[in-house]
Amino acid sequence: MAATKAPAEVAKGEYQRRRRALLQMAQDDAILILPAAPERIRSHDTHHPYRQDSDFAYLTGFPEPEAVLVLVPGRAHGETLLFCRERHPERELWDGRRAGPEGAVAGYGIDDAYPIDDIDEILPGLLEGRSRVYYHFGRDTDFDLKLIGWVNRVRAQARQGAQSPHEFLELGHLLHELRLFKSPAELKQMRFAASVAAEAQKAAMRATRSGGREFEVEAALWGVWRANDCVPAYNPIVGAGPNGCVLHYRDNNGPLRDGDLLLCDAGAEFRGYASDITRTWPVNGRYSKEQRALYDLVLAAQAAAIAQAVPGRPYAGVHDAAVEVLAEGLLSLGLLKGTLKKVLESEAYKAFYMHKTGHWIGLDVHDVGDYKVAGESRLLEPGMVFTVEPGLYIAPDAKVPAKWRGIGIRIEDEVRITDDGGEVLTGAVPKDADAVEAWMAG
């Protein structure tokens, strides 16, 4: 049940380097403002487990709510400021230790830190004289209103010579390009998350039995995640039979019937970094003839897509390669009619394959980063990490022969772009049909 040994945490110096890179991109007349994620009520007076905002975590590593990061390029007394909660022995007795402003400076490499209660007094002065504000408008409407209020306070002093910001820019335009390229320290966290997710998938295969329930398989996933200090990177999808044809299936409580396939899309999150794996296996341990034909087709499509994961090639080529293999296979099986050219032009394949073949992955399972640059598919570069996840979904009511209906298949792995090709980070989970059957038999 144990994965490989967990790596060391990302070092304080790396967070400082990330902030310096962002400061250099923003230039001296700007100010960058980023609040921590708020706590969310689950019901009445109970909260959802706290999860830090990914951008905030990327720049600070600071794990607490009620905090605001302010970057002020060129400020003589320190360019990186953090507003955070003060130490509070009584609250810490209930909720756990706080870093406090002193701990933020000592533990997280912040230049200067202040109590969060002082932000109304201090932040307008930091805005004064800055022409541009980088900020994520629309994420937190309460904080949006606070920021507008601070800017208006500076504007009100215009007759006294105060200069207020006159341009508001999306922080993601700068920050998300940095996040797209994973550092060696980030890759260590992602490799561990991937190794835990792989062990969880293998445990889920072994927990599958005819007559069982989907939640029993999900329980096996959770056991491995928590045994390795991980949480789910997203709500796992454990769909048997026709449930596997529902792309974002959530219930995870259906029966495991002899003769059905089970689609398991589940990833582990470690220190904020996500993993994402999908495998599809037979409940009784053996693929039927039709299941195997479709499964081998999806596997071939994934192999063709991964072959396109090479520096200098367009990201869109990954999807295009998978689609061509799937379309050709659907024609040969009689599930589509016509020529390959017409099927691709008309997108007739979307009746059975309606999603893209992957997405960036990192601190978010659907990670940030542009897929196009200047209107064209961006070229792959070393340090990018994305998923490759072709699938086929033959709905129970599809107008095809009955032997194909109700079969849902997806095969997903993470791929890192290296200097000379693509490296699969999640290859520890069996995916060849014979290997899957052998693992389940074991």
Is 353 catalytic? The answer is no
Residues 300 and 322: their CA atoms lie apart, in Å, by: 8
Tell me which of 366, 397, 432, 434 is the catalytic residue. 366
Tell me which of 53, 128, 218, 276 is the catalytic residue. 276
Tell me which of 218, 412, 413, 414 is the catalytic residue. 412
Is 393 catalytic? The answer is yes
Tell me which of 260, 389, 413, 414 is the catalytic residue. 389
Is 265 catalytic? The answer is yes
Strands laid side by side in the 237-240 sheet: 237-240, 261-266, 277-282
The amino acid at 203: A
b/e string for 127-164 if b means 16 or more Cβ within 10 A?
Answer: bbebebbbbbeebbeebeebbeebbebbbeeeeeebeb
E strands, 223-285, where?
A: 231-232, 237-240, 261-266, 268-270, 273-274, 277-282
Q: How far is CA 216 from the centre of its chain?
A: 25
Is 98 catalytic? The answer is no
Tell me which of 265, 328, 364, 367 is the catalytic residue. 265
Enumerate the H helices of 333-396 as residue ranges: 340-346
Contact 356, 318 (CB under 8 A): no
Is 88 catalytic? The answer is no
Is 45 catalytic? The answer is yes
Is 389 catalytic? The answer is yes
Residues 95 and 111: their CA atoms lie apart, in Å, by: 27
Look at residues 293, 354, 280 and name the one whose alpha carbon lies nearest to residue 322: 354
The amino acid at 434: D
Is 248 catalytic? The answer is yes
Is 345 catalytic? The answer is no
Tell me which of 213, 355, 378, 405 is the catalytic residue. 355
Q: Compute the radius of gyration of the chain from its Cα atoms.
A: 25
The amino acid at 171: L
Active-site residue numbers? Answer: 45, 248, 265, 276, 355, 359, 366, 389, 393, 410, 412
